[in-house]
């Protein structure tokens, strides 16, 4: 059953990713992009990494995708007419894919299939964040707060 689910989710995710890259209408591409993230989240749920999968839905489908569609909405709406190939984009895509594939293939835990990882519960992630990774966590929090205040300052009503 798991392998069947894996195949179905793979088809969905890859199809949505391909659609996001090729669709003419920008809004459809953005929505397919959100669907891709939904598929990725399903992969994590299938692997038993609930927290990562749900956080992916929460952040990418709930927030980032809405940000992207609003960016499209609030910028100019006329679609680019010419359909030429952007070579710079292709090069960046190949480099990104190559780097990821290289680092994934070099990771040892992937090559050993029989090695069973302990299930990744929310509690263990919380413990790790609050002990070993407390400095990165606090720094990220500070950065996000600064960004929030910065956004507020940008949109604040100017006194005449």
Interface with other proteins (CB under 8 A): 1, 25, 27-28, 31, 34, 50-51, 54-55, 57-58, 61-63, 65-66, 69-70, 73, 121-123, 157
The residue among 47 and 69 lying less far from other proteins, judged by its C-beta, is 69
First vs last C-alpha separation in the chain: 66
* Nearest distance in Å: CB 101, other proteins: 29
Q: Is 109 left (phi over 0), alpha (psi -120 to 50) or beta?
A: alpha
- The DSSP code sequence of 77-111 is -PPP------HHHHHHHHHHHHHHHHHHHH-HHHH
Closer residue to other proteins, CB minimum distance, 79 or 85: 79
Q: How far is the CB of 63 from other proteins (least distance, A)?
A: 7
For residues 85 and 153, which CB has a smaller minimum distance to other proteins in the complex?
153
Q: How far is CA 9 from CA 35, 44, 59, 105, in A?
A: 11, 11, 20, 22
Q: How far is the CB of 83 from other proteins (least distance, A)?
A: 21
Identity of the residue, 67 or 92, whose beta carbon is nearer to other proteins in the bound complex: 67
SS3 158: coil
């Amino acid at each position: 059953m798991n392998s069947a689910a894996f195949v179905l989710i793979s088809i969905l995710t890859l199809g949505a990713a391909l659609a996001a890259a090729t669709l003419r209408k920008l809004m459809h591409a953005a929505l397919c992009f959100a669907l891709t993230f939904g598929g990725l989240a399903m992969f994590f749920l299938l692997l038993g990494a609930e927290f990562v999968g749900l956080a992916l839905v929460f952040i990418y489908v709930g927030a980032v995708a809405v940000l992207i569609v609003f960016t499209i909405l609030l910028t100019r709406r006329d679609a680019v007419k010419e359909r030429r190939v952007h070579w710079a984009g292709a090069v960046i895509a190949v480099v990104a894919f190559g780097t990821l594939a290289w680092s994934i293939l070099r990771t040892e835990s992937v090559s050993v299939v029989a090695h069973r990882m302990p299930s990744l519960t929310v509690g263990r992630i919380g413990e790790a964040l609050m002990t070993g990774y407390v400095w990165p966590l606090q720094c990220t929090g500070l950065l996000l707060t600064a960004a929030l205040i910065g956004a507020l300052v940008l949109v604040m009503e100017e006194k005449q």
